[in-house]
Amino acid sequence: MSITITQIAKLAGVSRGTVDRVIHQRGRVAPEVEKRIRDIMDENDYHPNMLGRALAVSKTPLTIGMIMIEKGNPFFQLIHSGMKEAISQFRDYPILVYFRHINGVGEEEYLNVLDELENNVNALIIAGLQTKRIVEKVNQIAKKFLL
């Protein structure tokens, strides 16, 4: 995992705000402090995360719908755990994830969950069944995201 602004600030002995001013070239930073911060950034190959910035300033949360096979499946439990861990790393950003577990492998159940999520999410993650009807429904929803 890459270094964070907070870690850069700690290494440089300055506040997060000072690091932020250097990154965004807002001035009011002594030249020797700016050099120290930039050296730390270079040594750690730090690059600002533009997606993170966009999420941080966004007033509207990114809402993700995640559809998976029932909770009892060990493979899908790993996916679910990994997703929850990833979400925890972005806890400072306005991100909501709706987990929907399908009890079986029935096409109708998938389509019903897609109908439920369709107008409430900005993105979908689907693990499991992919029939022609499900793919068509996902494509229909995707067109809304792209418009």
Which stretches of the chain drop beneath a pLDDT of 70?
Answer: 1, 50-59, 71, 105, 145-147
* pLDDT at position 146: 65
Question: Sign of the C-alpha dihedral, residues 26, 29, 35, 40?
Answer: negative
* pLDDT at position 16: 93
Nearest C-alpha neighbor of 101 from the set 64, 126, 119, 131: 126
CB 9 within 8 A of CB 19: yes
Per residue in 36-61, pLDDT tens?
A: 999 999 999 998 876 666 666 666 78
Instruction: Show the domains of the chain with their CATH numbers.
Output: 5-48 (no CATH), 56-146 (3.40.50.10860)
* pLDDT at position 59: 66
- What lies within 8 Å, CB to CB, of 29 at 6+ separation is 18, 21, 22, 37
